[in-house]
């Protein structure tokens, strides 16, 4: 039995020119820079998201606490503002100002 040999019918590809190699290196460096920039943006976004989440949790907690305090004041007999007149309801804007520490 005779062994058959396979012959590749095409010529080997030519060596890339210096300009092609330089363009490939430029593309590779650009790709690496984009990857690095993207990782930085991802890290910034994660940090910002954590801060926004923490702020939202804090606001929700303060709003819940103020609602509970308001409910306990409403349950108490004769709520007044110190001058003998009934208390005015607290607006949402006032609650948010209190939550951010800028109460007026």
Q: What is the pLDDT of residues 35-49, one digit of tens each?
A: 999 999 999 999 999
Name all contacts of 72-81 with Cβ < 8 Å and 24+ positions apart. none
For residues 47-58, give the mean pLDDT.
93
Token pair for 29: 């460096």
0.85 surpassed by pTM: no
Cα(70)–Cα(76) distance, rounded to whole angstroms?
Answer: 10
Question: What is the rounded distance in angstroms from the CA atom of residue 47 to the CA atom of residue 21?
Answer: 39
Q: Please provide the DSSP assignment of 20-41 as one string.
A: HHHHHHHHHHHHHHHHHHHHHH
- Mean pLDDT over 15-33 rounds to 95
pLDDT tens digits along 8-21 = 778 887 888 999 99
The proportion of the chain whose per-residue pLDDT surpasses 90, expressed as a percent, equals: 42
């Amino acid at each position: 039995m005779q062994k058959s040999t396979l012959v590749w019918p095409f010529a080997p590809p030519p060596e890339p020119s210096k300009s092609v190699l330089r363009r490939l290196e430029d593309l590779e460096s650009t790709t690496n820079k984009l990857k690095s920039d993207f990782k930085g943006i991802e890290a910034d976004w994660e940090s910002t998201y954590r801060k926004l989440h923490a702020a939202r949790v804090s606001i929700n907690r303060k709003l819940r606490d103020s609602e509970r305090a308001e409910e306990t004041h409403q349950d108490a007999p004769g709520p007044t503002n110190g001058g003998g007149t009934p208390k005015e309801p607290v607006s949402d804007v006032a609650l948010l100002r209190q939550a951010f520490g800028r109460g007026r």
